[in-house]
Amino acid sequence: MKKDEVPQDLGSLGKITKEVCYVTDDSGKYTTELSNGWNVKTNALDITWEDIEQKVAAAKAKVLNKEASPILFFMEKNVMNIGILSSYAGFFKWQIKRHLKPEIFNKLSTKKLNKYAEVFNVSVDELKTMNVHAE
């Protein structure tokens, strides 16, 4: 890529920091140039997050329908699966599968709820109600 071809499409990262790119100058010698971002990459992130948002919405519907506990909602929201959640929260996978059932979740001790709340960066109250304000 040549220096004057470096994309400057302002994306989410570009608002925080520019990226260093190795590029060639007029004589073909390598140098660096800063980029604000590239639409191709931003779009790849966008459709990935759209997919995640859809999963979160589906999880929320399930929780409201009493088919799953709020842990499912927060797990999807945090882009986790049972394996990752298990290692963060310190529960076994089979325990988490149980906690995903509303009737079991409603009987969880405060200590266990606290563990989930910390992993998801929310309060226990927010964990129970799914009432979280967007970051």
Partner 1 sequence: MCMQSNFQHAQAAHCESGVTRNLLKSIGVEQITEPLAFGMGAGLFFVYLPLIKINNGPAIAFRNMPGSIFKRTCNSLGIKVTRKKFSSREEAQKLLDKKLDEGYAVGCQVGVYYLPYFPKEYRFHFNAHNLVVFGKKDGKYIISDPIMEQETYMTPYELERVRFAKGALAPRGQLYFAEKKNIITDDIIRQAIKNGIKKNVFDMLRIPGPVAGVKGIAFTGKKIKNWRNKFGLHKAGLYLAQLVRMQEEIGTGGGGFRYIYAAFLQEAYAYLPVDELMRLSHEFTRAGDLWRTAAVQASGIYKGRLGSQEDFNMMGDYLLDIAEIEKKAFKDLSNINRH
Q: What is the 3-state secondary structure (H, E, C) of the chain?
A: CEHHHCCECCCCCCCCCCEEEEEECCCCCEEEEEECECHHHHHHHHHHHHHHHHHHHHHHHHHHCCCCCHHHHHHHHCCCCHHHHHHHHCCCHHHHHHHCCHHHHCCCCHHHHHHHHHHHCCCHHHHHHCCCCCC
Task: Pick from 21, 104, 130, 132 the residue near partner 1 by CB under 8 A.
Answer: 21
Which residue from 8, 10, 25, 32 is in contact with partner 1, where contact means CB under 8 A? 32
Binding mask 79-118 for partner 1 (x = CB under 8 A): xx--xx--xx------------------------------
Stretch that binds partner 1, among 36-44, 64-72, 98-106, 122-130 (CB under 8 A): 36-44
Interface with partner 1, residue 132, by CB under 8 A: no
| Binder among 8, 10, 12, 67 for partner 1 (CB under 8 A) | 12
**C-beta closer to partner 1: residue 36 or 102:** 36
